Structure 1
Amino acid sequence: MLVSYKWLQEYIDLEGVSAEELAEKITKSGIEVEGVEKLNEGLKGVVVGHVLECEKHPNAEKLNKTLVDLGNGEQVQIICGAPNVGKGQKVAVATVGAVLPGNFKIKKAKLRGEESHGMICSLQELGIEGKLAPKEYAEGIYNFTPDTEIGQDALEALNRDDEILELGLTPNRADAMSMLGVAYEVGAILGKDIKLPNPQPETSTELASDYINVTVEAKEDNPLYVAKVIKNVKVGPSPVWLQTRLMAAGIRPHNNVVDITNFILLEYGQPLHAFDYDKLGSKEILVRRAKDGEVIETLDDVKRTLTPDHLVITNGTEPVALAGVMGGANSEVGSDTTTVLLESAYFTGGVIRKASKDHGLRSEASSRYEKGVDPARVRPAAERAAELMIELAGGEVLGGEAEADALDVKPAVVSTTLGKINKVLGTDLEMNQVEDIFARLKFETAVDNDTITVTVPTRRGDITIEEDLIEEVGRLYGYDNLPTTLPVGESTPGHLSDYQKKRRVVRRYMEGAGLYQAVTYSLTSAEKATQYALDKREPVQLAMPMSEDRSLLRLSIVPQLLEVLKYNIARQTESFAAYETGAVFLKNSNEDLPEEREHLAAAITGLWESHPWQGEKKPVDFFVLKGIVEGLFAKLGLESQLDFAKAELDGLHPGRTAEILLNGNVIGFIGQVHPTQQKSLDLKETYVFELSLKALLEAETAPLQYTAIPRFPSISRDIALVVEKATAAGDLETIITEAGGSLLKEVNVFDLYEGEKMEEGKKSLAFSLKYFDPEKTLTDEDIAKAHNKVLAALEEKAGAVLRG
Structure 2
Amino acid sequence: MFVSYKWLQEYVDLSGITPDELAEKITRSGIEVEGVEVLNEGLKGVVIGHVLEREQHPNADKLNKCLVDIGEENPVQIICGAPNVDKGQKVAVATVGAVLPGNFKIKKAKLRGEESNGMICSLSELGIEGKLIAKEFSEGIFVFPNDVTVGEDALEKLQRDDQILELGLTANRGDCLSMLGVAYEVGAILNREVKLPNPAVRTISEKATDYVQIKVEAKEDNPLYVAKVIKNVTVAPSPLWMQGRLMAAGIRPHNNVVDITNYILLEYGQPLHAFDYDRLGSKEILVRRAKDGEKIVTLDDAERTLTADHLVITNGSEPVALAGVMGGANSEVKADTTTVLLESAYFAGPTVRKASKDHGLRSEASSRFEKGVDPNRVRAAAERAVELLALYAGGEVLDGEAVVDTLNVEPVVISITLEKINRVLGTDISIEEVAGIFTRLQFETTVDNETITVTVPTRRGDITIEEDLIEEVARLYGYDNIPSTLPMGSSTPGYLTTYQQKRRTVRHYLEGAGLYQAVTYSLTSEAKATQYALETREPIKLAMPMSEDRSQLRLSIIPQLLEVVKYNVARQNDSVAVYETGPVFLSNGTDALPDEREHLAGAITGLREQHQWQGEKKEVDFFVLKGILEGLFAKLGLEQKVEYLQAVVEGMHPGRTAELFLAGQKIGFIGQVHPTVQKELDLKETYVFELSLETVFAEEVAPLQYESIPRFPSITRDIALVVEKEKVAGEIESIIVEAGGKLLKDVHVFDLYEGEHMEPGKKSIAFSLKYFDPEKTLTDEEVTKVHEKVLTAVKEKSGAVLRG
Q: Report the TM-score range of the alignment, normalised by the length of the smaller protein.
A: over 0.9
Identify the residue that residue 763 of structure 1 maps to in structure 2: 762
Deviates more, 1:312-321 or 1:456-465: 312-321
1:366-412 superposed Cα distances (whole Å, 9 cap, x missing partner): 11111111111112112221221111112222232223323222211
Instruction: Give, as a single letter, the amino acid of the residue that structure 1 aligns with 2:104.
Output: F
Q: CA separation in 2, counterparts of 1:249 and 1:229?
A: 28
Q: Report the Cα offset of residue 314 of structure 1.
A: 2.1
Identify the residue that residue 308 of structure 1 maps to in structure 2: 308
- 1:367 matched to 2:367: yes
SS in structure 1 opposite 2:260?
A: helix
Instruction: Give, as a single letter, the amino acid of the residue that structure 2 aligns with 1:716.
Output: R
Identify the residue that residue 222 of structure 2 maps to in structure 1: 222
Are the counterparts in 1 of residues 279 and 331 from structure 2 also a CA contact under 8 Å? yes
Instruction: Give, as a single letter, the amino acid of the residue that structure 1 aligns with 2:442.
Output: K
Do the aligned partners of residues 711 and 165 (structure 1) sit closer, same or farther apart at CA in structure 2, a change above 3 Å counting? closer
Are the counterparts in 2 of residues 722 and 803 from structure 1 also a CA contact under 8 Å? no
Do the aligned partners of residues 141 and 423 (structure 1) sit closer, same or farther apart at CA in structure 2, a change above 3 Å counting? same
Q: CA separation in 1, counterparts of 2:33 and 2:716?
A: 78
Q: CA separation in 1, counterparts of 2:490 and 2:784?
A: 64
Instruction: Give, as a single letter, the amino acid of the residue that structure 2 aligns with 1:720.
Output: L
SS in structure 1 opposite 2:435?
A: helix
Do the aligned partners of residues 103 and 776 (structure 1) sit closer, same or farther apart at CA in structure 2, a change above 3 Å counting? closer
Q: CA separation in 2, counterparts of 1:686 and 1:291?
A: 57
Deviates more, 1:322-331 or 1:705-714: 705-714
Identify the residue that residue 37 of structure 2 maps to in structure 1: 37
Do the aligned partners of residues 785 and 671 (structure 1) sit closer, same or farther apart at CA in structure 2, a change above 3 Å counting? closer
Instruction: Give, as a single letter, the amino acid of the residue that structure 1 aligns with 2:388.
Output: L
Q: CA separation in 2, counterparts of 1:693 and 1:664?
A: 16
SS in structure 1 opposite 2:629?
A: helix
1:471-490 superposed Cα distances (whole Å, 9 cap, x missing partner): 11111122222222234456
SS in structure 2 opposite 1:267?
A: helix
SS in structure 2 opposite 1:219?
A: coil
- 1:704 matched to 2:705: yes
Deviates more, 1:407-416 or 1:98-107: 98-107
State the identity as a percent. 71
How do 1:486-565 and structure 2 match up within 5 A?
486-488=486-488, 498-537=498-537, 548-550=548-550, 552-565=552-565
Q: CA separation in 2, counterparts of 1:307 and 1:460?
A: 32
Identify the residue that residue 730 of structure 2 maps to in structure 1: 730
Are the counterparts in 1 of residues 298 and 327 from structure 2 also a CA contact under 8 Å? yes
**TM-score w.r.t. length of structure 1:** 0.92
Identify the residue that residue 721 of structure 2 maps to in structure 1: 720
Q: CA separation in 1, counterparts of 2:114 and 2:744?
A: 101
Q: CA separation in 1, counterparts of 2:654 and 2:630?
A: 21
Instruction: Give, as a single letter, the amino acid of the residue that structure 2 aligns with 1:459.
Output: R
Q: CA separation in 1, counterparts of 2:218 and 2:413?
A: 28
SS in structure 2 opposite 1:291?
A: coil
Are the counterparts in 1 of residues 740 and 789 from structure 2 also a CA contact under 8 Å? no
Deviates more, 1:481-490 or 1:582-591: 582-591
Identify the residue that residue 446 of structure 1 maps to in structure 2: 446
Deviates more, 1:127-136 or 1:750-759: 750-759
Identify the residue that residue 133 of structure 1 maps to in structure 2: 133
Do the aligned partners of residues 441 and 69 (structure 1) sit closer, same or farther apart at CA in structure 2, a change above 3 Å counting? same
Q: CA separation in 2, counterparts of 1:148 and 1:645?
A: 90
Q: CA separation in 2, counterparts of 1:527 and 1:468?
A: 52
Q: CA separation in 2, counterparts of 1:407 and 1:249?
A: 31
- 1:568 matched to 2:568: yes
Are the counterparts in 2 of residues 753 and 763 from structure 1 also a CA contact under 8 Å? no
Do the aligned partners of residues 508 and 474 (structure 1) sit closer, same or farther apart at CA in structure 2, a change above 3 Å counting? closer
Q: Report the Cα offset of residue 541 of structure 1.
A: 6.0
Do the aligned partners of residues 631 and 20 (structure 1) sit closer, same or farther apart at CA in structure 2, a change above 3 Å counting? closer
- 1:689 matched to 2:676: no
Q: Report the Cα offset of residue 550 of structure 1.
A: 4.4
Do the aligned partners of residues 780 and 162 (structure 1) sit closer, same or farther apart at CA in structure 2, a change above 3 Å counting? closer
Are the counterparts in 2 of residues 749 and 765 from structure 1 also a CA contact under 8 Å? no
Identify the residue that residue 296 of structure 1 maps to in structure 2: 296
Q: Report the Cα offset of residue 356 of structure 1.
A: 1.6
SS in structure 2 opposite 1:695?
A: helix
Q: Report the Cα offset of residue 222 of structure 1.
A: 1.9
Deviates more, 1:767-776 or 1:628-637: 767-776
Which consecutive unaligned segments of at least 5 residues does structure 1 have?
A: none
Q: CA separation in 1, counterparts of 2:193 and 2:135?
A: 39
Do the aligned partners of residues 701 and 274 (structure 1) sit closer, same or farther apart at CA in structure 2, a change above 3 Å counting? same
Q: CA separation in 1, counterparts of 2:117 and 2:34?
A: 40
Are the counterparts in 2 of residues 744 and 769 from structure 1 also a CA contact under 8 Å? no
Q: Report the Cα offset of residue 461 of structure 1.
A: 0.4
1:150-187 superposed Cα distances (whole Å, 9 cap, x missing partner): 22222222122222111111110000000111111111
How do 1:367-406 and structure 2 match up within 5 A?
367-406=367-406
Which consecutive unaligned segments of at least 5 residues does structure 2 have?
A: none
Q: Report the Cα offset of residue 674 of structure 1.
A: 2.2
SS in structure 1 opposite 2:130?
A: coil
Identify the residue that residue 59 of structure 2 maps to in structure 1: 59
Do the aligned partners of residues 646 and 113 (structure 1) sit closer, same or farther apart at CA in structure 2, a change above 3 Å counting? closer
SS in structure 1 opposite 2:640?
A: helix
Do the aligned partners of residues 58 and 615 (structure 1) sit closer, same or farther apart at CA in structure 2, a change above 3 Å counting? closer
Are the counterparts in 1 of residues 275 and 341 from structure 2 also a CA contact under 8 Å? yes
Instruction: Give, as a single letter, the amino acid of the residue that structure 1 aligns with 2:276.
Output: D
- 1:27 matched to 2:27: yes
Q: Report the Cα offset of residue 526 of structure 1.
A: 4.2
* Matched pairs, number: 801
Q: CA separation in 1, counterparts of 2:754 and 2:320?
A: 85
1:137-156 superposed Cα distances (whole Å, 9 cap, x missing partner): 11222121112122222222
Q: Report the Cα offset of residue 538 of structure 1.
A: 5.3
SS in structure 2 opposite 1:639?
A: coil
Deviates more, 1:131-140 or 1:515-524: 515-524
Identify the residue that residue 667 of structure 2 maps to in structure 1: 667
1:97-133 superposed Cα distances (whole Å, 9 cap, x missing partner): 2222222222223333333222222212222222111
Q: Report the Cα offset of residue 365 of structure 1.
A: 0.7
Q: Report the Cα offset of residue 345 of structure 1.
A: 1.5
Do the aligned partners of residues 96 and 800 (structure 1) sit closer, same or farther apart at CA in structure 2, a change above 3 Å counting? closer
SS in structure 1 opposite 2:528?
A: helix
1:400-453 superposed Cα distances (whole Å, 9 cap, x missing partner): 222332322221111111111111122222222222211211111222322212
SS in structure 2 opposite 1:246?
A: helix
1:229-257 superposed Cα distances (whole Å, 9 cap, x missing partner): 22222111111111111111110000111
Q: CA separation in 1, counterparts of 2:649 and 2:306?
A: 51
Deviates more, 1:58-67 or 1:129-138: 58-67
How do 1:58-457 and structure 2 match up within 5 A?
58-71=58-71, 73-457=73-457
Instruction: Give, as a single letter, the amino acid of the residue that structure 2 aligns with 1:704.
Output: Q
Deviates more, 1:199-208 or 1:7-16: 199-208
Instruction: Give, as a single letter, the amino acid of the residue that structure 2 aligns with 1:770.
Output: L
Instruction: Give, as a single letter, the amino acid of the residue that structure 2 aligns with 1:68.
Output: V
Instruction: Give, as a single letter, the amino acid of the residue that structure 2 aligns with 1:219.
Output: K
Do the aligned partners of residues 779 and 3 (structure 1) sit closer, same or farther apart at CA in structure 2, a change above 3 Å counting? closer
Instruction: Give, as a single letter, the amino acid of the residue that structure 2 aligns with 1:184.
Output: Y
SS in structure 1 opposite 2:719?
A: strand
Deviates more, 1:316-325 or 1:548-557: 548-557
Are the counterparts in 1 of residues 216 and 404 from structure 2 also a CA contact under 8 Å? yes
Deviates more, 1:459-468 or 1:93-102: 93-102
Are the counterparts in 2 of residues 79 and 111 from structure 1 also a CA contact under 8 Å? yes
Instruction: Give, as a single letter, the amino acid of the residue that structure 2 aligns with 1:462.
Output: D
Are the counterparts in 2 of residues 747 and 767 from structure 1 also a CA contact under 8 Å? no
Instruction: Give, as a single letter, the amino acid of the residue that structure 1 aligns with 2:653.
Output: H
Q: Report the Cα offset of residue 258 of structure 1.
A: 0.6
Are the counterparts in 2 of residues 224 and 403 from structure 1 also a CA contact under 8 Å? yes
SS in structure 2 opposite 1:41?
A: coil
Q: CA separation in 2, counterparts of 1:175 and 1:127?
A: 30
1:680-706 superposed Cα distances (whole Å, 9 cap, x missing partner): 211112110011234334432233252
Q: CA separation in 2, counterparts of 1:38 and 1:60?
A: 38
Do the aligned partners of residues 450 and 545 (structure 1) sit closer, same or farther apart at CA in structure 2, a change above 3 Å counting? farther
Are the counterparts in 1 of residues 721 and 800 from structure 2 also a CA contact under 8 Å? no
Q: CA separation in 2, counterparts of 1:96 and 1:769?
A: 86
